[in-house]
Amino acid sequence: MEIVAKDCLAPRIVRLVVKAPRIAAKAQPGHFVVVRLNDRAERIPLTIADFDRAAGTITLIIQEVGKSTAMINAMEPGQSFADVLGPLGTPYPIEKVGTVVGVAGGLGAAPLYPKVKALYEAGNRVIVILGAQRRELLILMEELRAVSHELIVATDDGSYGEHGLVTVPLRRVLEREKVDEVIAIGPVPMMDACCRITRELNVKTVVSLNAVMVDGTGMCGGCRVTVGGQSKFCCVDGPAFDGLQVDFAELRQRQRYYNAQEREAYQAHQHGMEGCRCRAK
């Protein structure tokens, strides 16, 4: 599966266009892939951030957070993944529901984009709230602007847009007008915080969960998440779930189980490695 194009969206955030005709033919918003870089690599899940059926390509947006993502982001066009499996997961239902607010935290913009694009094209009124720690980490701003009726941007440090967390404009919008559905995608604490507000205001909320996965096909059960008191397999039952029912505390703990080993692998790898040029930014 060859990489045909690459660009850096932000420091340590890379966009890859990958040749994968079979996957492109089937991809829907909400789908993801599981990739393996080489023969020693682990299998990791990545959202299909966009797809082009005619060109037979899918777009991945990857943030370097550890060894696997560092190695992937250091790849250049012409190089290939050992394996790309997909499309995986249950597609996000695209319907005309009325007004939808999409909230993205950091890299969450990547999975959010195909969903709001489809919802926008399906005739919904779409409001997007895009947040990041600081200005350079805002990604897909223009793409999201193009598929929304209103775009609100917030940064934690105030270097762009509103100063503060996405939850502030979220509450404001929900108190301002009737919203039929909220989609919140980003780090677990951010999704958790959004759901606290929507639960209080009783607004349907969908989140996309990023449990630790192995196969991505329902075979290992490692991606278990608790939703409404029931155990679900994130890779086949999700990754989108009713945010008001998700046990976020459990998900956060499960994401951390391998942190010591992950740090060890990352450090050993960084030793003497250059990585993608965008890291320097």
Partner 1 sequence: MPRQVMPKQDPAERSRNFGEVALGFTPEQAAAEAARCLNCKKRFCVQGCPVEVDIPDFIQLLKAGDPAGAAAKIKEKNSLPAICGRVCPQESQCEKECILAKKGEPIAIGGLERFVADYAAEQAGGTVRPAKALPYRAAIIGAGPAGLTAAADLALQGFDVTIFESLHEAGGVLQYGIPQFRLPKEIVGREVEYIKQLGVKLETSVLVGQTVTVPELLEQGFQTIFIGTGAGLPYFLNVPGENLNGVYSANEFLTRVNLMKAYRFPEYDTPVRIGERVAVVGGGNVAMDAARTSLRLGAKAVYIVYRRSEEELPARYEEIENAKEEGIIFRLLTNPVRIIGDEQGVVQALECIRMELGEPDRSGRRRPVAVPGSEFQFPVDSVIVAIGQGPNPVLLRNTTGLQLNERGYIQADPETLATSIPGVFAGGDIVTGAATVIAAMGAGKKAARRMVEYCKQKYPNG
Ligand X SMILES: Cc1cc2nc3c(=O)[nH]c(=O)nc-3n(C[C@H](O)[C@H](O)[C@H](O)COP(=O)(O)OP(=O)(O)OC[C@H]3O[C@@H](n4cnc5c(N)ncnc54)[C@H](O)[C@@H]3O)c2cc1C
Contacts with ligand X, residue ranges (CB under 6 A): 32, 42, 44-47, 61-63, 65-69, 107, 110-111, 210-213, 239, 255-256, 259, 262, 266
84 binds, among ligand FES, Mg ion, partner 1, none (CB under 5 to 8 A by kind): partner 1
Residue among 202, 162, 151, 150 nearest 179 (CA): 202
Enumerate the β-bridge partners of residue 2: 80
Sign of CA dihedral 74, 279, 135, 137: positive
Kindly indicate which of the ranges 41-49, 130-138, 171-179, 190-198 contains the residues binding partner 1, using the contact rule CB under 8 A: 41-49
- The residue within the footprint of ligand FES, chosen from 77, 189, 221, 228 (CB under 6 A), is 221
Site for partner 1 in 64-93 (CB under 8 A): 67-68, 82-88
Q: Are the C-beta atoms of 63 and 136 separated by less than 8 Å?
A: no
26 binds, among Mg ion, partner 1, ligand FES, none (CB under 5 to 8 A by kind): partner 1
| DSSP structure class, residue 36 | E
Using CB positions, name the residue nearest to ligand X.
Answer: 66
* Helix/strand/coil percent split, the chain, to 5: 35, 30, 35
In the shown chain, the binding pattern of residues 235 to 264 toward ligand FES, with x for contact by CB under 6 A and - for none, equals x-----------------------------
Cα dist from 98 to 101, 122, 147, 181, whole Å: 10, 10, 15, 8
234 labelled as ligand-binding?
Answer: no
Q: Are the C-beta atoms of 125 and 116 separated by less than 8 Å?
A: no
Centroid of chain to Cα 254: 18
Residue 31 carries which side chain, given as an amino acid letter?
Answer: H
Does 12 sit near partner 1 (CB under 8 A)? no
Centroid of chain to Cα 201: 25
- Report how far residue 116's alpha carbon sits from residue 247's, in angstroms, rounded to the nearest whole number: 25
Residue 221 carries which side chain, given as an amino acid letter?
Answer: G
Does 233 sit near ligand FES (CB under 6 A)? yes
Task: Indicate the residue among 68 and 198 with the shorter CB distance to Mg ion.
Answer: 68
- The residue within the footprint of partner 1, chosen from 3, 9, 13, 23 (CB under 8 A), is 23
Sign of CA dihedral 52, 57, 63, 66: positive
Does 47 sit near Mg ion (CB under 5 A)? no
- Report how far residue 210's alpha carbon sits from residue 89's, in angstroms, rounded to the nearest whole number: 12
Does 73 sit near Mg ion (CB under 5 A)? no
Helical packing angle, 248-255 and 188-201, nearest 10°? 180
Site for partner 1 in 178-237 (CB under 8 A): 214-215, 217-222, 224-226, 231, 236
267 labelled as ligand-binding?
Answer: no
Kindly indicate which of the ranges 36-44, 106-114, 132-140, 176-184 contains the residues binding partner 1, using the contact rule CB under 8 A: 36-44
220 labelled as ligand-binding?
Answer: yes
Give the footprint of partner 1 on this chain (CB under 8 A).
22-23, 26, 36, 40-43, 67-68, 82-88, 214-215, 217-222, 224-226, 231, 236, 250, 253-254, 256-258, 261-262, 264-265, 268
Give the footprint of ligand FES on this chain (CB under 6 A).
213-216, 218-223, 233-235
